[in-house]
Each structure stands twice: as C-alpha cells, then as structure tokens.
Amino acid sequence: VDETLVPEFGVVRGTEPDVLQIGSCSGFNGQLVPIPCTCPPDRNLFINALNNALEVGNVEGEPITFSNDASDQSGATNKQRATACVIVLQSFNGEKGNGCPVASAPNFKTQQDTG
C-alpha cells in the first residue's frame, strides 16, 4: 500500500483518559465520544494489517480493495480506499467487529463520506 494514500487517523491514541469510564479516551464522530484508549492502533501496525488484508482480498470474509494509483484521486476511488481502511480498523484485533471504532479515525470517515 502506498502509505501516502492512507489518511492519518485524526485522533491520537490515549487522548483525555476518562477517570470515570476506565479504559475510555476521547474519539470524534462529529462530537467527542468515548473510544478504547488503545485506539487508534499504531500506524505501522495498521498499514501492515491493511497490506495483509489486501493480499488475502478480504477481512474476515468482507471483500476489500485499495487503489495504489496516486494519480486517481476521484471521489469513488478515495471512498473505496477509506472503506478498506475502516473495515481493517474495525476488525483490527483479528475478528470482525473486534477492533477500533471509526470514531478513532475520523479522517477515514470523512474521506469515506466525501471521497
């Protein structure tokens, strides 16, 4: 994967730990929301997971694709790239839905919505 085509997460792991809800930190989905303090994952580990998923062609049975053509910045292609990132993020811990919520990567969600 051309890492320059993968948006930054947009949230820093461990931001504003919640003293009442132990293990929760601040994420963002239009407003501040609690996310696990372990999210988002380390970017290098995330890129490795994305590469592995693309080699297989799916994440836990959900197909993904990612265009490495940097000259293609069309809305459809950027949405497809972001969707691949969201799927990998949400299954980062090795099983579907057991990863980090999209609120831990608001830049993915924005690109998924707007291209």
Q: What's the pTM value of the predicted model, to 2 decimals? A: 0.90
pLDDT tens track for 83-96:
999 999 999 987 77
Q: Is the pLDDT of residue 71 over 80?
A: yes
Rounded CA-CA distance 106/74 in Å is: 20
Burial of 105 (0-12, 13-18, 19+ CB in 10 A): buried
Rounded mean pLDDT of the chain? 90
